[in-house]
Each structure stands twice: as C-alpha cells, then as structure tokens.
Structure 1
C-alpha cells in the first residue's frame, strides 16, 4: 500500500462491539433472535406466551427438538419466498433507476470529494403502495396474505442477501482507490466484514449503503404491516372488522416510514452514512432486522385480535403524537440551527473549533431529545398489543439498548472532536436521553 493511501486510509487501532468476538456474537445472534421472535411468538408455534411461561426447560426442549429435526432446518428455506424477496429487491433497484429524482450532494469526504445521491425513495414507496393497493382492490385481502404465510422463508432470503452483499462489498473494498471507513480497516477479516471496510461501496452512481438504508427494508416493513391487516381481515370477514389496535399499528408505523422517506436528504448527515462502512452490521440491519422485527406487533395482532375501545385508542394516539412531536420539533430545531436559522432564539455555546452547540430548547433538556421522541413512539407502537405478553415489547427494549450504545459512540466522538469544550457542554446539558434520569 502506498504512503498516500496509508494516510487516506489509516489502520484502525480501536475496536467497537468488543472487537472480533463481539462482531461474531452480533453476526451469530441477529439471525437467531429474528427467527426466535417468530418461533417463540407465532400462531404456528402455539401463540405468544408471556416470558414467565418460557421456562429454561421449555426453551431447552424446543431448541433440542428443532436442532435434531432435519425437516425443521429444511423449512427455513422456501424457493418461492426467495424468488419473491429477490423480485422485491429488483423492483426497488429498478424504481431507483427509472423514477425521476433530484440529485443532492452529501458531506465532504476525507478525500475532498462529495458524493451525489438520487432522491426518490418516497416516490418508490408511493409506486409500491399503488401496486399493492390495486392488487388488494381487485382481488381482495386474501391476495396479499402471502407475506404472513411465507414469513420464515422471507427471513432466510433476506439473511442470504445480507450475507452476500456484505461479503461482496468486503472483497470489492480491496480495489485500488477505495475510500475506507476509519473504523473498518483493522486488518481482521471478521471484524472488518462485520463493521464495514469501505465507506461508500457503489456501482457507478448507485450507492449501496444509502439505497439499503431507506428502500428495500423500510418500505417492506410497511408492506408487511399491510399483509398482516389483510390476514386479519380475511379471518374477521373484511376490512370493516379489522381491530382498532391493528389500524393504529399500521397508521403509526406507516407514518414513521413515510416521514423518513420524505425527509431522505437528512439521511446523508447521519453517522451511518458519514462514518460507518457498509458491512454485515448495516446490511443485516437494513434488510432483515428492520422489516422482520419491527413488524412484530402487526404480526402478533394478525392472529391475536385485541380491541382497545375508545379510551384505549385515544390514549395510544396521544402517546404516539407526543413522541412524534418531540422527535420532529427537536430535529427541526437542530436542522434550523445548522442552516443558520434560530427562529426560537435558542441559547448556544461557542467552541474553539468555531462551531456552536445548542444548550436550550429541546437540546437543553438532554443531549439527544430526538432519541426520547423515538422511544416514546416505539412504546406507542407496542401498546395496541395489550399486556398479555412482554414479547411484543421487544422493539422498545432493543431500541433503548441501540440508542444508548449510539449515544455512547457519539459522546466519544464529540469528546475527541471538541475536547474541553465537550466537557463544558456536558456540564450545561448533563442528561443524555431522559431528562433528570439518564
């Protein structure tokens, strides 16, 4: 490697996720947890029992029975499901290429260049929704229940796609001229494959990382929810009999996805895009984890029909609106401030770097008020499932761990970036996510 390339792509000297053992652990457990959420909470496995009912002996018996059953292993693969998933991914790629969209610049990279990104994720979503709506209108809800029926096969197909993409991107990162992620050039194959060695793997103008972040998994999440509504509608004699709880989950999660897709340019300033490489961590997160674990509530309600009633419905709506209000207004304050606007006359502190840090408004209550809003919405998505099992509350529990880890990464990066100014800032805004608590 030339000295110039070494300067541009220095060797990674500090591990995250506890290094290679942590990378192996996450890579191994993410597929297991994704499958476990189905086999531990599904109609096919006898329902969704509370955690107390899943004793260690029961779990051992179930695992032993599965591992020793050849037919069980064969059931994880479904040719039709694999073709359906491959077709869905191809549709998303074709939509990216064919649908019109503005091209916007990303942030300046270490090599002084700025990548161009095509903005048409929202129109891809509208096209997919139009096709699905037309199919259901023409053939009825039974025409779109196949996602519920082929759930396990679709998970497996998405895992294969995640593995293949991560591996090919790792191999391609060794070509001359690749800009590597600062955290993904350790020289350890497993760790770099997991964390992502190349910062922005692409095929021409097609950026693989940002494409996967918003399109195949995020839009599929909504399509899964719609399929669960259709499954419940078939069982209950039509859409007019679908439960209020199911409609709420569909509405909340669809709105969340639409908001992210509509605000696609905001993605290009996130840590995932500016700092992290594209490896198995992001590929499996985007393609498998998001659509197949975030939709757990809708899948549960497809076979366990919960009626909330008027007051329950209003309470859940209020919780979600509160979370969305915090999330959106906090991000609005930050985006306005970054763009040189300060309509609320928020207080800020100057840093030696010449930049400014907000210390009032939502950003004066805690360092990450957007995380607080996100977690409040996550809770609202689970409340429609009731309280008969804690398993449907897996998402906010996991999300809390994820956001705390992300907050710790951000804190470390900011301390390195701002030095003493960051310590001063943390005294002014001591709370990290939950004001007065953490």
Structure 2
C-alpha cells in the first residue's frame, strides 16, 4: 500500500520559483505589494507615487505605529467579504449548470466540474444593476470606502485556505501535485500540495479561479465608477467608462468560456496552495482594478480621438486572444474548421503549426498583453504606477510561457525541437 502511494505521489525533486526562499519571498511580497499599490497610489498618499523624499519617513512612521497595523483590519469589510464569498458558494450550488469532465489525471480518473460561472456573473450584475437603479450610485461606494479592509479580509481567506488545504493533504487518499510534494513546509504550502482539494463535488481550485475574485474585480470596477459619478454629480468620465467596459468584457468572456480553463496548467498540473489562493482572491480583484481606482481621484476626459485609438488597441488584442483560444480549443476537441496545418508527434498527439499558432507559440498571451496596455492607456501618462499591470503581466506571461515550454519539451522530446523550428517565435514575432 505504501509503495503504491509513493508511486502515485512521488517526492518532488525539482523546485520552481527559486525554491523555498523564493516561495517565502512571494508569500510575503504579494500581500506587501497589494498594500503598497494602494498606499503608494491613493488620494491621501501625497501623489501617485508620492515624492521620493516623503516615502521613507511616511512608511517608517506608519509601520512602526501599532494603530496603523490595526487600521488594516475592518470588521464591516470582513463581514461583507464573507457574505460575498458565501453568495458565490450558494450560487454554485443552486444555479443550474452542465457537468463536464476534466482531463484524465494520473490516477486514471476524470474530475467532474459544474459549469455555471457565467450565470453567477449575470446574477451578480443583475443585483448590482437593481441596487443602482433603486438607490443610485451611492449604493456601491462602500466598496471604495472599505478598500483596505476588503484586501485584508481576502488575504485572511487566502491564508486560511492555504493552511487548511496543506494540512488536509496529509490525511486520506489524496492525489498530490507532482510539483508540490517536496517535504518543505514553506514551499509546499505556497505551491500547493494537493492537486484538487474538494468537498464532495465542490472543487475549490476551479471555484476560486473564476468566481469570488474574478467577479469581485468587476464589482470593484463598477463601484469605482459609482464613486467617481457621485463626486462629479453626474456621469463617469470617458476614461473610466473605457476601463470598466474593457475589464468587464474580459471577465465576462472568461466566465462564459469556463470550460477552457480545465486544460490550463493551473487546473491540470499545479496544486492548490497559497499561491493560487492569494492570486485568485486578492491579487486579481485588488491589483487588476488599480486603473479604475486611480481614475476616481484623477479624473480624465480623453475625447473621441484618443478613445478611438484605445478601443482599437483593446479590440485588436481581444480579437487575437479570442480567435487564438478558439483555434486551440476546437483543435483539442477534434475540430479543425479552418483546415489548419499541424504536425504529428510520437505521442500520437498533434501540434498546430498554422493560423495564429503558426504566428507564434503563444498568440493568446500576445492578445492578453495588448489588452493590458489598453486598460492602462486611459489613465494617461502622468504616473508609471497605473502601468504596473502591464509590466507585471509581461513578466508573468513570460514565466508561464517558459514553464509551459519546459513541460512540452519533457512531454514531446525531439518532436518539440522540430516544432520550434517550424514556429520560431515564442510570443512576439521578430522580437521574442
């Protein structure tokens, strides 16, 4: 029995993210950066970013004051966040949705997933629309007012889930992630030890991936627009409307195409630990909404020309992102409506070599980056902080691309080398 378990869950011998020290750095760095982006770019911080000669004394004075640390906790915000998370769980339970099979995992099973993220989004938007219609824009400004407390509540939920999933992975017949069984507490807590933590048919990883954080991002954007509208005594600026529209479209697209996530590395390969929990629940809603929050207190009117340019950038990226993903998903499901070229591999699988996937190896990432740029352009050029997302996302996607290609090289061997000669560019043709 022990030998069979060891064969199914072998000890991990290869670290990612520079090992335990890197995992510890990110575990501390992600929350610290989330708070820093708020306090370093807000209407009360003295600028965005504040002047260099004021940053150090301000930071020292704050972190050395126990009252400042206490101010990060907001009981009302914690209750609101728990209510929101509970709403998402109840929506998963009661809203109708198809059940689909995930990919085959190494214990010979296929996990069943309930598909109703998009109905949850529509229900959420319906409730929000009803509140605004009945009570006005004031009804959502509480999200902006309790921003820091909501960050803290989401971090508490992330730590709680990471710890519970790590501890529970040692009990029962659990399928562990091949990359999360090193025996090092810090690293395994961060990367995720169990592959698919579940309570009955409720899969925690896929639930967090698409529901509480992603939909909250949309709600935060709408709340920022409401806050700006209240301050202006009228409608939001065109820059705010662009950011909200672009990001809600992105969220809606991801939720509508929910089945596509079940072939991603997050679901098929990575365990569920603090890394995915804090990324889904804290980083996505509170960092990705930076542009909308900035525009609350730095209001810009772009005019029709700049608006048209930014719309063109966004929809160019969206077109590449959506068409590339559609080509990939069709091909994986045995369809090839465009008669795209491909190469056979010794594994019996096929690799696309034409269409957008002949243009570069990760065209969907290229589309993602163009959209990220379009989300920041409405904030103007007075501060680099609102372009943080573009820089971060570039690093994230390059890292993900390297991880993916390392996995493919192990999977396909010599065929992968042949494929790279056919599709030369990784992300941006002629550049990378």
Shared fold per TM-score greater than 0.5 = yes
Q: Does 2:410 match 1:416? A: yes
Query: For residues 219 and 384 of structure 1, what CA distance do their matches in structure 2 show?
Result: 22
Q: Does 2:317 match 1:336? A: no
Q: Does 2:212 match 1:216? A: yes
Query: For residues 281 and 147 of structure 1, what CA distance do their matches in structure 2 show?
Result: 25
Deviation at 1:54, TM superposition (A): 4.3
The 5-angstrom pairing of residues 286-297 of structure 1 reads: 286-297=280-291
Query: For residues 102 and 349 of structure 1, what CA distance do their matches in structure 2 show?
Result: 33
Query: For residues 282 and 336 of structure 1, what CA distance do their matches in structure 2 show?
Result: 27
Deviation at 1:97, TM superposition (A): 0.7
Query: For residues 123 and 356 of structure 1, what CA distance do their matches in structure 2 show?
Result: 34
Show the counterpart of 1:103.
99
Q: Does 2:67 match 1:67? A: no
Query: For residues 317 and 408 of structure 1, what CA distance do their matches in structure 2 show?
Result: 30
Q: Deviations over 1:237-263 (max 9, x none)?
A: 12xx31000011110000000000011
Query: For residues 281 and 226 of structure 2, what CA distance do their matches in structure 1 show?
Result: 23
Equivalent residue for 2:301, pick from 286, 303, 307: 307
Query: For residues 96 and 340 of structure 1, what CA distance do their matches in structure 2 show?
Result: 30
Deviation at 1:340, TM superposition (A): 2.1
Q: For 1:387, what is the secondary structure of its paired residue?
A: coil
Equivalent residue for 1:381, pick from 370, 375, 388: 375
Runs of 4+ residues deviating >6 angstroms: none
Query: For residues 357 and 118 of structure 1, what CA distance do their matches in structure 2 show?
Result: 29
Q: Deviations over 1:13-54 (max 9, x none)?
A: 0000011000000000000000000000001212323xxx64
Q: For 1:118, what is the secondary structure of its paired residue?
A: strand
The 5-angstrom pairing of residues 338-417 of structure 1 reads: 338-417=332-411
Query: For residues 115 and 333 of structure 2, what CA distance do their matches in structure 1 show?
Result: 20
Equivalent residue for 2:161, pick from 162, 165, 175: 165
Query: For residues 5 and 339 of structure 1, what CA distance do their matches in structure 2 show?
Result: 32
- Range with greater deviation from structure 2 (131-140 or 16-25): 131-140
Show the counterpart of 1:3.
3
Query: For residues 59 and 405 of structure 1, what CA distance do their matches in structure 2 show?
Result: 31
Show the counterpart of 2:313.
319
Query: For residues 310 and 86 of structure 1, what CA distance do their matches in structure 2 show?
Result: 41
Deviation at 1:136, TM superposition (A): 1.1
Equivalent residue for 1:275, pick from 266, 269, 274: 269
Query: For residues 371 and 221 of structure 1, what CA distance do their matches in structure 2 show?
Result: 20
Query: For residues 19 and 64 of structure 2, what CA distance do their matches in structure 1 show?
Result: 32
Show the counterpart of 1:82.
78
Gaps of 5+ in 1: none
How many aligned positions are there? 432
Deviation at 1:395, TM superposition (A): 0.5
Q: Deviations over 1:70-107 (max 9, x none)?
A: 22111100010010001100110111111111111111
Show the counterpart of 1:46.
46
Give me the TM-score of the superposition, normalised by structure 1: 0.97
Gaps of 5+ in 2: none
Q: Deviations over 1:214-244 (max 9, x none)?
A: 0000000000000001000101112xx3100
Q: For 1:27, what is the secondary structure of its paired residue?
A: helix
Q: Deviations over 1:328-386 (max 9, x none)?
A: 11111111222222222222111111111111111111110000000000000000000
Deviation at 1:141, TM superposition (A): 0.5
Q: How much is the aligned-residue C-alpha RMSD, in angstroms?
A: 1.0
Show the counterpart of 1:20.
20
Query: For residues 431 and 54 of structure 1, what CA distance do their matches in structure 2 show?
Result: 41
Deviation at 1:412, TM superposition (A): 0.5
Show the counterpart of 1:436.
430
Give me the TM-score of the superposition, normalised by structure 2: 0.98
Query: For residues 330 and 62 of structure 1, what CA distance do their matches in structure 2 show?
Result: 47
